């Protein structure tokens, strides 16, 4: 089953007034995962690959902002316009706005196919609010995957990253070049460099990660949910390592009857 092509994630990207093009199949024990790791470790790519394997929906807060950015100015609320300004600079969008946006989309957390959160939570306040929201919804997280990569490799990955305007597929100028320069292999959309992948924004994003997101590693370690995976190698290798780690993880965490 290829959820990526079949499910347009409209309920997440556009909000609760929109309906997803297809709902993932409900499974008895859905995966409810958070992906952590500095910008550039490949969380988005892994979320898309894991979506294919585990059928849990890819929920990226960054994708919600990018979808809003492609709307016409007059369709954007003043709060969203201001959020997009933070994003352009490479800064984190304030917690209150991000949390309101996620709460509005809590149906996606209840989705019977499970979820893979990518880019959220990013601060302790977001992590604590997510825990409260999950408790209210009577849901629990399966695991939090922390992708690790040396900083020089992160900078090289971000600097060469190319994203498709239309389907959001990610390529890389040297590591994963498209077949035709500037054109997406999947949908033939135009490839572009994200504004926040420019060198000055990369620096700000890595600083924001150290300051705000690193503490989450301790938070989830204390909660007994942290699973660390080395983000080295090609995406398929990293995905295979993740699946092996998740299978072992689930085997260790099977509830005793």
Indicate which residues carry an active-site annotation: 43, 122, 161, 194, 205
Using CB under 6 A as the binding rule, whether residue 120 contacts ligand AMP is answered as yes
Collapsed DSSP state (helix, strand, coil) of residue 88: helix
Using CB under 6 A as the binding rule, whether residue 219 contacts ligand AMP is answered as no
Shortest separation between residue 7's beta carbon and ligand AMP, angstroms: 19
What is the distance between the alpha carbons of residues 141 and 159, in angstroms, rounded to a whole number? 33
Collapsed DSSP state (helix, strand, coil) of residue 122: coil
Shortest separation between residue 255's beta carbon and ligand AMP, angstroms: 30
Shortest separation between residue 121's beta carbon and ligand AMP, angstroms: 6
* HEC per residue, 192-246: ECCHHHCHHHHHHHHHHHHHHHHHHHHHHHHCCCEEEEECCCCHHHHHHHHHHHH
What is the distance between the alpha carbons of residues 253 and 74, in angstroms, rounded to a whole number? 49
Shortest separation between residue 247's beta carbon and ligand AMP, angstroms: 26
Using CB under 6 A as the binding rule, whether residue 119 contacts ligand AMP is answered as yes
Which of 176, 143, 192, 134 is CA-nearest to residue 42? 176
Shortest separation between residue 26's beta carbon and ligand AMP, angstroms: 27
DSSP 174-198: TTB--SBTTB-TTT-PBEE--GGGS
Residue nearest to ligand AMP (CB): 62
What is the distance between the alpha carbons of residues 77 and 81, in angstroms, rounded to a whole number? 6
Q: Which is nearer to ligand AMP, 207 or 237 (CB)?
A: 207
Residues 97-116 that bind ligand AMP (CB under 6 A): 98
Using CB under 6 A as the binding rule, whether residue 163 contacts ligand AMP is answered as no
If 0-12 CB within 10 Å is exposed, 13-18 middle and 19+ buried, where does residue 123 land?
buried
Binding residue for ligand AMP, selected from 196, 202, 229, 231, defined by CB under 6 A: 196
Q: Which is nearer to ligand AMP, 80 or 87 (CB)?
A: 87
For the four alpha carbons of 106, 110, 116 and 122, in that order, the dihedral sign comes to positive
Residues 39-98 that bind ligand AMP (CB under 6 A): 39, 60-62, 65, 86-87, 90-93, 98
What is the distance between the alpha carbons of residues 218 and 223, in angstroms, rounded to a whole number? 9
Shortest separation between residue 128's beta carbon and ligand AMP, angstroms: 13
Token output for 212: 């705000």
Q: Which is nearer to ligand AMP, 93 or 229 (CB)?
A: 93
Q: Which positions touch ligand AMP (CB under 6 A)? A: 39, 60-62, 65, 86-87, 90-93, 98, 119-120, 122, 126, 196, 205
């Amino acid at each position: 089953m290829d959820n990526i092509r079949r499910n347009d994630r409209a309920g997440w990207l556009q909000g609760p007034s929109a309906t997803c093009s297809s709902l993932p199949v409900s499974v008895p024990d859905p995966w409810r995962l958070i992906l952590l790791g500095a910008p550039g470790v490949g969380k988005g790519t892994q979320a898309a690959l894991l979506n294919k394997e585990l059928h849990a929906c890819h929920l990226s807060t960054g994708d919600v902002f990018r979808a809003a950015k492609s709307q016409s100015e007059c369709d954007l609320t003043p709060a969203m316009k201001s959020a997009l300004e933070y994003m352009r600079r490479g800064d984190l969008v304030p917690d209150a706005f991000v949390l309101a946006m996620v709460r509005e989309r809590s149906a996606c957390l209840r989705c019977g196919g499970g979820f893979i959160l990518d880019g959220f939570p990013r601060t302790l306040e977001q992590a604590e609010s997510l825990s409260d929201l999950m408790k209210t919804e009577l849901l629990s997280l399966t695991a939090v995957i922390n992708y690790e990569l040396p900083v020089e490799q992160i900078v090289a990955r971000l600097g060469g990253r190319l994203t498709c305007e239309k389907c959001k597929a990610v390529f890389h100028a040297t590591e994963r070049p498209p077949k035709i320069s500037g054109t997406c292999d999947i949908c033939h959309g135009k490839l572009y460099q994200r504004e926040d992948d420019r060198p000055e924004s990369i620096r700000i994003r890595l600083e924001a990660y150290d300051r705000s997101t690193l503490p989450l590693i301790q938070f989830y370690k204390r909660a007994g949910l942290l699973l660390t995976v080395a983000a080295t190698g090609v995406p398929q290798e990293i995905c295979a390592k993740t699946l092996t780690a998740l299978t072992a993880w689930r085997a260790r965490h099977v509830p005793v009857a």
